[in-house]
Structure 1
Amino acid sequence: MATRRSSSKWKRHIIVQLQHRDRHQKLHFEGLILSYNQLLTKSDIVQLWRDKCDPHLPSAPSLSPEPVNVTKLQIRHQEKLNKLHQANGELAQEVFELSKHRKRKEVELQATQSRLSELEVKLGELEAKRGRLQARIDELEKANHGVKEEYDTLQQLYRAQWEQLRKKEVEGSELIQNMIDIKAQAAEDLNYLNEKLKRIKQKNLEKDLAVVSTVPIAMNTDVFRQVQELSTEESRHQETKSFKPFRNLRSASLSLSTQPRFLQSFKGLLRKRSSPSFSDFDCSPTSFRSVARVPARVRHSLEAHDGEVNAVKFSPNSRLLATGGSDRTVKLWDIVGGMLQKLKTLEGSNDGVTSIEFDPSGLQLLAGSYDNTARLWSLKDCELKCTLSGHSAKVTAAKFKFYYREAVTGSHDRTIRIWDLNNIACIKLISVPSRCSDIVCLDYFIISGHSDKKIRLWDSRAGMKSNEISLQGKVTSLDINSDRTQLLSCSRDDLLNVTDLRMNEIRQELRAEGFKCGADWTKAIFSPDGRYAIAGSSDGVLYVWDTLTGQLETSLVGQHRSSINAVSWSLSGEYVASVDRTKMANLWTDC
């Protein structure tokens, strides 16, 4: 039983192995068997063809029992042969093309490999260089860190020293002002003492004259005439010296004695009194103020610039006129015989000029520009000294500060900047709620006009707002009188306001039928004595108001045919200059 099981087991194993071989080997020989069968068929066809062509040749045994059409087989064979030849030619051409392409690729591959080797060498060099540079960067960063720490320390020290310097400057200015006040008080005290000495001498002289007048004497005509002439001459002399108590000497001389001794005494007394003394000179400080003359006609008119003229300003000595326009230049004009003669052109601005300001000495000129900067020129050599850059919008006003070597600029970027002209640096930034159109500088305060219809007063030392005045229109310009007590503002509601800075209230409203503010930068100014205010209208007419009464003084029609942008009144009170949008500048006088 065990023998049968073992024999059947190996038989089954053999059968399984044979089936497995048949399954796997049949796949490899199926193509061969098919090709062999086709070859047998072709062999039969060839044998038949040979038998037909040459019947004497021995025929091979037929492999196919079915009859074959030899002609069709020949045609089919020929077609296949032609197709094989055509395919062979195409394959040969393709092989040729592929061979050429392979050669080109081999050349490119060799070039690429050489380039790659070069780049690998260069990459190695660059890696080494990068390592050296990285080490250098690490060294520089360490050195930079040390320098930065030193810089921060120096910056803190600089700020502390700068604050001390500012405090010392303020203290120095206060000391100077105190010295000026002390000297003024000393001069007043000295004048009082001199006047006291005058009064004492006057009383003594009156006593002497009273004693002389009580002596009874006989009249002598010749002596009386001589004494009268002498007293008249002395009286005129005293009148020229504004010494009023001696105007009565003539009446007192009528009772003088004819005796030579009294006459000689009186002559000696007069000679002694007529000699000059220290009290005859005025030592008190005086302030000179020009009396403005209302303009009446155009003395000279010309095209000042190649485009719109935005600003005009007289120099402190009233002999020089500066104009600024959209042609990026500031022009200086000499006033000779009431005529404007071009003197110099100041260049350097990258855009149109918006404002012009002379310093009190008349040796420097500051101008704001549409290119977000302000520029300072020296008028000694007409060279650009510095550019104050930092604003992000156009600079509408640039003014010198009152006491220090500082300037103040206002801009449409809603900031006011205070500049140190020695170090060419911004030392204080004041953020304002609205676009700034114009500014005015006082001792320690800055007054600014804005597009939100407000005038604001700022403490320049603390950078804080101390007061505010509301108007009915956008503020276009500000100006302050010579006493620094009255503020003139022009606004887009066609109104000029005179504000009393001491009372912080509007004192006068200046309006006129026909006056229209032509632009957001139209300028209105005081006369040098503060008696008048002047502004140009959009129709080219110049209006002059009396600031005391608030009434219109006159309206002037000149050569302007468009809106007047700015006006300036010379400190001598003799000339008024006006500029407009059509390149024109007019010089006005009172006759």
Structure 2
Amino acid sequence: MERVQRRFTTMLPGLENGSYEASPPLEPETGESEQQRYREEISKLKMMNGELAQELYELSKEHRRKEMELEATQSRLTELLERLGKMEEARQELATRVAVLEEANWTVKEEYDTLHILYREQWQQLRTHELEVSKRIHDLLHLKAQEAQELNYKIEKPRRYPLVESGKGTRGPSQRDGMAEVEWRNQEKDLATVSSVPISNRTETMARRPANPPDGAGQEEGRSFKSSWIRSSSFSLVDQSRLKQSFRNFFRMRSSASCSEINVSSSVFCSMSRLPATVRHCMTVHDGEVNAVKFSPNSKILATGGSDRKVKLWDVVGGSLLNLKTLEGSNDGVTSIEFDPSGFQLLAGSYDNSARLWNLKDCELKHTLSGHSAKVTAAKFKFSLREAVTGSYDGMLKIWDLNKPACVKSLCSPSRCSDVVCSDCFIISGHFDRKIRLWDSRSGVQTDMIALQEKVTSLDINQDRTQLLSCSRDDQLSVLDMRMNKIRQELRAEGFKCGADWTKAIFSPDGNYIAAGSADGVLHVWDVLTGDVVALLRGEHRSSINAVSWSLSGDYLVTVDRTKVANLWSDY
């Protein structure tokens, strides 16, 4: 409106003072041109008046529209203010609930922390108690072995006197030593048949034993006493195999490094694995990168395989590694090593697309298993000892009859195989396509498949065949429940990095721990129960750790790396 008025007053200056005086009537003598000018001015004023009226109408219309929009906006603002009030009330209620929940959560967290501390203390007490029990059992076995040796020596004494005092004269020192050695071996054989010796039975039997048996009745009485002592034995502390092994270790003389005398006796069963703490021995074991390492079932022999095409056998003596023998015959680098459960055979996979079987009694190459079209990454025995399984980069898994030798079955997968674990009834393979495949070894049919986030580098299975361990290139270890075929636990650690496509991770012999080497040369050990890292150990490694092996006795752990170095770890 102000704009219209401004335009009107500009053209009619008389309106500025609020008055307008009409033009006086023209005199007759006014010229015709002057009248024409007034008529034109009046015409312009009428035209402007019409324009101003039209503009005033439009502005009025715009004003009414703006007023309606303002009313709508005010109404919307009122609604929003009402909603804001309600939301503020809801926010206050939620804030109150959050405060209550935070208080409850804090209380639960305090209870959890208290229980966790109590759990860790009890778990530590349990571990300490188990160590004490293990040490006492070891001491008891040593004491029993000494007492059994002394007892058998006294029992055999009446049998030796007639030999010494017979009419042929007295034997010389060398003859006596030879007889002592024969009798020593006989005693070892007799003691090997003893399954157990209870303290109560031993005490009662010692009490019934005559102090000085007469020479005439010594032989028969000694034999009857010895047989009754053996028959009455029953042991509840440890199993028969461990007792036998302890007796063997007590009587065993350390052999020389000749292959025919390599000790590949029966397996040792671990009661509890010891956490590694220090490097007992560090040495260069191959002329190239070390890809595989494995302890024998009796934990006395260590085998290593490297890119120098050799498999080397090492004797573990007093925390050191002594080279026993080098097994030759591979045409390319060794990728995997496996002892059979008896300890008398060794199977190794190779980059030359084959696997080889050595007999450790004479250290001679027994068979070459060839048939793959790419390098063999895994070669494992089945429990039957007559069959083996190999996995390769060609995606094939082959089952071999070691008596012929020949491939009896081939299992085809769509991806490269990195590792294999097996028994008589099943085969489990890890692949580069991020899959773990389960096979029925009798029918050759794939029964299940488990997907991971990255390609699998290794597999391992615990002693009771209930848990499977996998290592993958996403720097993660997965523990799978074999009864459900599902991932039960995922293990990670700050700084742990899987260094290669063939990096190995393993269970401890008792299944309580998991060990794996990182790309920076650090050994990581996890507790299976809690999933926590219980040890971070840096030895003499300066490059990626390729493989780890834990002795079945639980005493030693060996790590090998890319720079030809092996570290022997123990708990002291």
TM-score range with shorter-chain normalisation? 0.5 to 0.7
Map of 1:372 onto structure 2? 353
Query: How do residues 269-308 of structure 1 correspond to structure 2 at under 5 angstroms?
Result: 281=234, 288-308=269-289
Return the offset for 1:241.
6.8
| CA distance in structure 2 between the aligned counterparts of 1:297 and 1:370, rounded to whole angstroms | 33
Return the offset for 1:504.
1.5
Q: 2:303 aligns with which of 311, 314, 322?
A: 322
Map of 2:214 onto structure 1? none
Map of 1:432 onto structure 2? 413
Return the offset for 1:289.
3.6
| CA distance in structure 2 between the aligned counterparts of 1:502 and 1:579, rounded to whole angstroms | 33
Return the offset for 1:285.
8.0
| CA distance in structure 1 between the aligned counterparts of 2:402 and 2:272, rounded to whole angstroms | 33
Could you list the runs of 5+ residues in structure 1 that have no partner in the other structure? Answer: 1-237, 243-274
- When residues 239 and 302 of structure 1 are mapped into structure 2, their CA distance, relative to the original with a 3 A threshold, is closer
Map of 2:44 onto structure 1? none
- Matching of residue 498 in structure 1 with residue 441 in structure 2: no
Map of 1:559 onto structure 2? 540
Return the offset for 1:401.
0.6
Map of 2:375 onto structure 1? 394
Structure richer in helix, relative to its length: 1
| CA distance in structure 2 between the aligned counterparts of 1:516 and 1:346, rounded to whole angstroms | 32
| CA distance in structure 2 between the aligned counterparts of 1:406 and 1:291, rounded to whole angstroms | 30
CA contact (8 A) 1:393 1:413 kept: yes
Map of 1:408 onto structure 2? 389
Say how many residue pairs are matched.
324
Map of 2:448 onto structure 1? 467
| CA distance in structure 2 between the aligned counterparts of 1:469 and 1:534, rounded to whole angstroms | 22
Tell which structure's C-alpha radius of gyration is larger.
1
- When residues 427 and 590 of structure 1 are mapped into structure 2, their CA distance, relative to the original with a 3 A threshold, is same
- Matching of residue 384 in structure 1 with residue 365 in structure 2: yes
| CA distance in structure 1 between the aligned counterparts of 2:565 and 2:239, rounded to whole angstroms | 42
Map of 1:536 onto structure 2? 517
| CA distance in structure 2 between the aligned counterparts of 1:570 and 1:280, rounded to whole angstroms | 30
Q: 1:345 aligns with which of 316, 326, 342?
A: 326
Aligned to 2:529, what secondary structure does the other structure show? coil
Q: 2:422 aligns with which of 441, 446, 452?
A: 441
| CA distance in structure 1 between the aligned counterparts of 2:398 and 2:199, rounded to whole angstroms | 57
Aligned to 1:375, what secondary structure does the other structure show? strand
- Matching of residue 520 in structure 1 with residue 535 in structure 2: no
Please give the per-residue CA displacement for 1:92-132, whole angstroms capped at 9, x wherever unaligned: xxxxxxxxxxxxxxxxxxxxxxxxxxxxxxxxxxxxxxxxx
- When residues 278 and 424 of structure 1 are mapped into structure 2, their CA distance, relative to the original with a 3 A threshold, is closer
Map of 1:335 onto structure 2? 316
- When residues 241 and 556 of structure 1 are mapped into structure 2, their CA distance, relative to the original with a 3 A threshold, is same
Computed over aligned residues only, the root mean square deviation of the Cα atoms, in angstroms, reads: 2.4
* TM-score, scaled to structure 2: 0.54
* AA in 1 matched with 2:381: F
Map of 2:101 onto structure 1? none
Aligned to 2:302, what secondary structure does the other structure show? strand
- When residues 300 and 281 of structure 1 are mapped into structure 2, their CA distance, relative to the original with a 3 A threshold, is closer
| CA distance in structure 2 between the aligned counterparts of 1:279 and 1:443, rounded to whole angstroms | 37
Aligned to 1:528, what secondary structure does the other structure show? coil
| CA distance in structure 2 between the aligned counterparts of 1:501 and 1:470, rounded to whole angstroms | 14
- Matching of residue 454 in structure 1 with residue 435 in structure 2: yes
Map of 1:583 onto structure 2? 564
- When residues 280 and 379 of structure 1 are mapped into structure 2, their CA distance, relative to the original with a 3 A threshold, is closer
CA contact (8 A) 2:309 2:328 kept: yes
* AA in 1 matched with 2:513: Y
Please give the per-residue CA displacement for 1:136-161, whole angstroms capped at 9, x wherever unaligned: xxxxxxxxxxxxxxxxxxxxxxxxxx
Aligned to 1:437, what secondary structure does the other structure show? strand
CA contact (8 A) 1:290 1:571 kept: no
* TM-score, scaled to structure 1: 0.53
CA contact (8 A) 2:309 2:334 kept: yes
CA contact (8 A) 2:475 2:492 kept: yes
| CA distance in structure 2 between the aligned counterparts of 1:317 and 1:366, rounded to whole angstroms | 17
- When residues 312 and 239 of structure 1 are mapped into structure 2, their CA distance, relative to the original with a 3 A threshold, is closer
